[in-house]
Structure 1
Amino acid sequence: MLFLEALVERSIKEAIEQGQFDNLPGAGRPLLLDDDSLVPENLRMSYRIMKMSGYLPEELQLRQDALNLQTLIIHATNTEERNGYHAELTLVKTKLVHAGFTIDFLDKSDYADAVKERLLKRNCK
């Protein structure tokens, strides 16, 4: 990791000397950094690189998929569509559990309450 850090530092120093950082938006103000305190220190650089390139670790991607599916379930227009999303959500939940991750975030979220409320309203009609 020292090679990568040295390369980055050298590139930053050259950019500063060439004035490439002059007049940037937010100059002189503190940076708004993500809280990565739960990421082991030796993995932080690689996680930042993955995040900047648009990649999410498997657990985070599955969590995002689960939340998106809950939203789709809420807005489904018919039973067949809703059942399809439920099947996909069950598969995502199974993948999370099989990989050793928790799915508690689904039960404790506002999404879960909204899904239940919406489904109850539809079933009463």
Structure 2
Amino acid sequence: NIEVLSGTEIEALDGEEGNLATVRWRNRASGAETTRPIRHLFLFIGADPNTDWLANCDVALDARGFVRTGSDIGSAQMETSRSGVFAIGDVRAGSVKRVAAAVGEGAQVVAALHAYLARGNADTFRMAGRP
């Protein structure tokens, strides 16, 4: 009872007392609208990384625009191609694209930052944070 609809846009969600009853969507290619009785809806909005702003930062991206990290590029875990710059969550190449995983990756980066600073990079780290 699951239907995956790509290339569609939700037009309306209708229901009563906080319960979903019907969903209306439009196919972007054909323009056709469909309304069906539906009680549960899962939206997956976008799988494209928003990394255009990294174009001039010397941070390596993969062919799809995700940030490359770790052993893939010879860096510490979660570290990008730029020393002392780390990436976590959906924007990282190879991530599982789940919120809980991103939270765990954030905790891992805390340890990686401590190791980075312990290697004698404290001055570099402070300089990078100055305006």
TM-score range, shorter chain: under 0.3
| Greater relative CO, 1 or 2 (CA 8 Å, sep 6+) | 1
Q: Normalized against structure 1, the TM-score is what?
A: 0.27
